[in-house]
Amino acid sequence: MQQNSFPKKFLWGGAVAAHQIEGAYLEDGKGLSIADVVTAGGNGIAREITEGVLPDRYYPNHEAIDFYHRYKEDIQLLKELGIKVFRTSIAWSRIFPKGDEEQPNEAGLAYYDALFDELRANGIEPIITLSHFEIPYHLAEAYGGFRNKKLIDFFVHYAETVMTRYKDKVKYWMTFNEINNQADGQHELHTWTNSALRFEEGENKEEITFQAGLNELIASAKAVKLGHEINSDFQIGCMMAYVPVYPYTSRPEDLMASLKVMQRRFFYSDIHARGILPGYVLKYWEKMEYQIDYSEDELQALKEGTVDYIGFSYYMSGTVTTVEELQGYPIADFPQAKMLNNPYVSASDWGWQIDPVGLRYTLNLIYERYNLPLFIVENGFGAYDQLTKDGKIEDGYRIDYLRKHIQEMKAAVLEDGIELLGYTPWGIIDIVSFGSGEMEKRYGMIYVDKDNQGNGSLKRLKKDSFNWYQQVIRSNGETI
Ligand code: P53
């Protein structure tokens, strides 16, 4: 009989990031992080990066959902939900407040000891991202972020410190969250949050972002190698944002454009997984006369620190065309083409195109490319929720999104033979949106009473999707 549930070891879970949940932004010796100087934006309104923390501005990450103090209560809800793994990040500036210290902050280390112990005592295994948009602010100010090679050593020292400290408490790690978000070098929020970069007038953003990205890949590879020495059971992955970009028409040039746009994102996982600089990017640097600095030793480090699995986020897909008559949005790193909305899929209120089949396609695409186990470490539906008078959140639209994605993921595992470690939907509890800084772009199965202005009791409530996901996990994906 054909199997209708997931493999027994499949890791059902939920995902968040420290800066989007913890709050307590200066508590117990924590230093400012790059997320602490980003103001709230809105749907279609960009967040602003300020010079330090300004007294008259609102920074939603400073308090977030106060998980720092409420984690015990939240873990009880997660236990009830039935998740086996919980993906979060360590806030780097809790451990090294400025980033360049020799000695770590013991209070910060002790906090994560307590958090991981509490999770494990409740049957939930932590999965840890080392750098999820939380680089210590001082490293941006004093060193210019990851354009500076010194950050490689600071990151490796941080990684070694926490991997050693938590070697018996954490098995699954990821180095840099969505490292490829910055690919085109043009998006201010992404180059800031990925690499702590600021640019001077006249600088070539793309060239500097390539340098910063390569420095991160070197830092990541060194951390992977060290991690395996610290505990040979560690599973250390990369973390990529996968947004498959389809050719809009069957015009051969559109297919080629889609390939080229994808290569620029694959650049990061190609290095993470294969340990070599791909030919397409070396040729591009040559053509653009970019001076990217790397040594023989660093190339060797890339080879020695390839990842154990590919962790990735999947939310949406896109399309691209070269047909002149078609109207679209420009692509910064591929001016010959433009992006268009896909007429065959719908979109969220934030314009993210909903495409469950694209998840199955992506799983196949990445698995064929690297032959490594995969881990869907983010997937979810950002939406406005209504709290009914009797305290319910009827989020059938979220269930619909997740159900369709899980169905496609199931087909990838049961029909296509993809080796998939697990699934941790994003923002399992409502959190501050990364892109917009809103509280009301909600992903959670647990509602948090707080609005975009920061008002609310912070009370937690179960949504309809909570009960639904609980059943999915209980049946190991047989009942979706
Ligand atoms: P928000 C772009 C494309 C895919 C995922 O995003 C992205 C982004 C960046 O906006 O980010 C990831 O909160 C990221 C999370 C983030 C989540 O997706 O803008 O890893 O930190 O919260 C959802 O709706």
CA max distance for the chain: 65
Instruction: Decide if domain 11-474 falls under CATH 3.10.450.50.
Output: no
Confidence of residue 3 (pLDDT cuts 50, 70, 90): confident
pLDDT score, position 131: 98
Ligand 1 center to 106 CA (angstroms): 31
**Ligand 1, pocket residues at CB < 6 Å:** 17, 177-178, 181, 241, 313, 315, 378, 382, 426, 433-436, 441
What predicted TM-score, i.e. pTM, was given to this entire model? 0.98
pLDDT score, position 205: 97
pLDDT score, position 333: 82
Q: Which atom of ligand 1 is nearest to the CA of 350?
A: 24
pLDDT score, position 17: 98
CB burial of 152-186 (b: ≥16 within 10 Å; e: otherwise) equals bebbbbbbbbbbebbeebbbbbbbbbbbbbbbbbe
Ligand 1 center to 313 CA (angstroms): 8
Whether the per-residue pLDDT at 332 is higher than 90: the answer is: no
Confidence of residue 100 (pLDDT cuts 50, 70, 90): very high
Whether the per-residue pLDDT at 94 is higher than 90: the answer is: yes
Whether the per-residue pLDDT at 216 is higher than 80: the answer is: yes
The Cβ of residue 1 has, within 10 Å, a number of other Cβ atoms equal to 3
β-strand pairing of 374-378 with 420-423: parallel
Could you tell me which of 62, 75, 71 has the C-alpha nearest to residue 19? 62
Alpha carbon distance 198, 165 (integer Å): 33
The Cβ of residue 230 has, within 10 Å, a number of other Cβ atoms equal to 16
Whether the per-residue pLDDT at 2 is higher than 80: the answer is: no
The Cβ of residue 103 has, within 10 Å, a number of other Cβ atoms equal to 7
Annotated catalytic residue 378: yes
448 beta partners = 460
Candidates 19, 38, 178: which one to mutate for ligand 1, based on the most atoms within 8 Å of Cβ?
A: 178
Candidates 313, 352, 355: which one to mutate for ligand 1, based on the most atoms within 8 Å of Cβ?
A: 313
Q: What is the mean pLDDT of residues 170-195?
A: 97
Alpha carbon distance 378, 17 (integer Å): 11
Q: What is the mean pLDDT of the chain?
A: 97
Q: Are 95 and 161 in contact (CB under 8 A)?
A: yes
pLDDT score, position 50: 98
Confidence of residue 20 (pLDDT cuts 50, 70, 90): very high
Kindly report the CA angle at 86 between 84 and 89, in degrees rounded to 5?
A: 160
253-266 residue pLDDT tens: 999 999 999 999 99
Alpha carbon distance 82, 474 (integer Å): 7
Q: What is the mean pLDDT of residues 98-106?
A: 98
Q: What is the mean pLDDT of residues 397-401?
A: 98
* Protein residue with least CA distance to atom 10, ligand 1: 435
Whether the per-residue pLDDT at 1 is higher than 70: the answer is: no
* For the chain, percent of residues with pLDDT exceeding 70: 100
What distances in angstroms separate CA 227 from CA 97, 234, 305, 343, 365, one per listed residue? 22, 7, 9, 45, 28
Tokens of 239: 């973390």
Could you tell me which of 342, 316, 185, 340 has the C-alpha nearest to residue 241? 316
Helix (H) or strand (E) holding 108: helix 106-121
Q: How large is the angle between the packed helices 356-370 and 396-414, nearest 10 degrees? A: 30
272-318 residue pLDDT tens: 999 999 999 999 999 999 999 999 999 999 999 999 999 999 999 99
The Cβ of residue 351 has, within 10 Å, a number of other Cβ atoms equal to 10
Q: Which atom of ligand 1 is nearest to the CA of 433?
A: 13
Confidence of residue 334 (pLDDT cuts 50, 70, 90): confident
Tell me the domain boundaries of the chain.
11-474
366-398 residue pLDDT tens: 999 999 999 999 999 999 999 999 999 999 999
Question: Helices (H) and strands (E) in the chain — how many of each?
Answer: 14, 16
Could you tell me which of 410, 397, 423 has the C-alpha nearest to residue 478? 410
